[in-house]
Amino acid sequence: MVPKITVIGSLNMDLTATSAKRPAAGETILGERFETFPGGKGANQAVAAARLGADVAMIGMVGRDPFGDELTQVLRREGIRTEHIGRAGTSSGVAVIQVVDGDNSITVIPGANFQLTPDYIGTKRSVIAESDMVLIQLEIPLETVAAAAKCCQEADVPYILNPAPAQPLSREVIDQAAYITPNESEAAILFDDIQKALKEYADKLVITKGEEGIVYSGGRVPAFSVEPVDTTGAGDTFNAALALKLASGSPLDEACRYANAAAALQIGFPGAQAGMPTNDEVISFMRQNGQNPL
Ligand code: RIB
C-alpha cells in the first residue's frame, strides 16, 4: 500500500553562494559559485517523500511571482498534489544560503509562507483527514502550526513535528506529535535536559546529530561516512524517509536506519532536492554498506 503523506509547510527559492570561507562581519570575500535551487523545508520534505514512493499532497503558500510559479511546477513534476498550495499577494519565500566545505548557514525570508493562516488550514481538513501521516515544520506561523496539529488530532492522523528552525513551542503541539525530530541545536532550545527528554518522549523523540548520527530512546544509529557536497535538505530527506517508513508500519528503529541512509545519499549533490534518492537507491545503498533494509 502506498502511504499518503501530507506536508504542511514552506516553499522557498534557495539563493546559494558557495565559498571557501564565511565572511566575517564587515568583510567582503570572493565566492566560487552562485546558484538558485528550489527549496523550503516543507517543499523539500514533499519532494523527498514523493521520490521514495509516497503519495504526497503539499499544503503551503507561495507568492504570485515567477518563484511561486517555479516552486509549484517543481513539485508538480515530482507527482505531488499541488492544488492545496495557495497564492498570496506578497513575494514567495526565499532562503539565502552560504555553503562552505559542504556545510550551510541559512537566512530565510518567509514572504508568502507567513500568509499560510490557521483559516486556510481549516479549509484543508479533508486532505489532512485522508492522510496516513502529516509532516509539519516551523517555517510557517506558529499559530498555523497549532491549527495544523489540532486538525491532525481531531482527525486522528499522526503528525511528525520537525521543529526547524527552532522556536519555543506550546507543550500541546509537542505532546500531541507522534514523533518530534529536532537536530542537536533545536533539541537544546526545546528541552532543558536532553537525556530527560529522551526518556519522557521515549519512542517519539528522534534527534539528528549530523556526523554523530541519530539518537532516540531505543539507541543510536551511526552516520554513514560520506563526503558532503551540500548538507542543505539532509534533515528534510531524513524526515520524509522516516514518515514514509512509519506510515508504512515499520518500527522506529528500522525507520531511523532507512532515513539515515536516505539522508546520507542526499548530501552528495548541490542544492536540497537534486540528491534526494528513490527507494531503490536507498535499499541498494544500505545493502552495499552491509545493512539489511528489511
Ligand atoms: O532545510 C533546508 C531548507 O531550509 C532550505 O531549502 C531552505 O529553503 C530553508 O528553508
pLDDT of residue 168: 87
Residues with Cβ < 8 Å from 147, sequence gap 6 or more? 118, 121, 122
Express each pLDDT in 273-290 by its tens digit: 999 999 999 999 999 999
> Residue 294: what pLDDT?
74
* Residue nearest atom 2 in ligand 1 by C-alpha distance: 233
10 Å Cβ neighbour count for 103? 14
Domain 4-20+33-288 sits in CATH at 3.40.1190.20
Ordered by start, the domain boundaries in the chain are 4-20+33-288
**Is 236 labeled as catalytic in the residue annotation?**
yes
Closest residue to atom 8 of ligand 1, CA basis:
40
Q: Write down the catalytic residue from 14, 65, 230, 236.
A: 236
Q: Could you give the count of Cα atoms lying within 13 Å of 26 in the half-sphere of its Cβ? A: 0
Best residue among 41, 45, 94, 113 to mutate for probing ligand 1, ranked by most atoms within 8 Å of CB: 41
Q: What digits encode the pLDDT tens for the residues 148-187?
A: 999 999 999 999 999 999 998 999 999 999 999 999 999 9
